[in-house]
Amino acid sequence: MTTTTATAPPLAIEARGLRKAFGDKTVLDGIDLAVPAGSVFSLLGPNGAGKTTAVKILSTLVTADAGELFVGGHDLAADPQAVRAAIGVTGQFSAVDGLITGEENMHLMADLHHLPRREGRRAAAALLDRFDLTEAARKPAATYSGGMRRRLDIAMTLVGSPRILFLDEPTTGLDPRSRHTMWRMIRDLVADGATVFLTTQYLDEADELADRIAVLSEGRIAATGSADELKRLVPGGHVRLRFTDPVGYRAAVAVLRDVTTDDEALTVRIPSDGTQRELRSLLDWLDAAGVEADELSVHTPDLDDVFFALTGGADKSTTRPEEALR
Residues near ligand ATP, by CB under 6 A: 22, 27, 45, 47-53, 201
Of 293, 280, 206, nearest to 245 by C-alpha is 293
Task: Kindly tell me which of 48 and 290 has the beta carbon lying closer to ligand ATP.
Answer: 48
Task: Kindly tell me which of 61 and 100 has the beta carbon lying closer to ligand ATP.
Answer: 61
- Write the DSSP string, 194-226: -EEEEEES-HHHHHHH-SEEEEEETTEEEEEE-
Beta carbon of residue 25, minimum distance to ligand ATP (angstroms, whole number): 6
Beta carbon of residue 206, minimum distance to ligand ATP (angstroms, whole number): 13
User: Could you tell me which residues come within 8 angstroms of residue 18 by beta carbon, excluding any fewer than 6 positions away?
Assistant: 28, 30, 31, 32, 33, 54, 57, 64, 66, 67, 69
Task: Kindly tell me which of 47 and 276 has the beta carbon lying closer to ligand ATP.
Answer: 47
Beta carbon of residue 46, minimum distance to ligand ATP (angstroms, whole number): 7
Task: Kindly tell me which of 58 and 159 has the beta carbon lying closer to ligand ATP.
Answer: 58
* CB 10, CB 37: distance < 8 Å: yes
**What strand order describes the sheet that includes 295-299?**
260-262, 267-271, 238-242, 295-299
Of 210, 232, 189, 200, nearest to 35 by C-alpha is 210
Beta carbon of residue 142, minimum distance to ligand ATP (angstroms, whole number): 24
Beta carbon of residue 179, minimum distance to ligand ATP (angstroms, whole number): 17
Helix then strand count (H, E) for the chain reads 12, 14
Task: Kindly tell me which of 101 and 224 has the beta carbon lying closer to ligand ATP.
Answer: 224
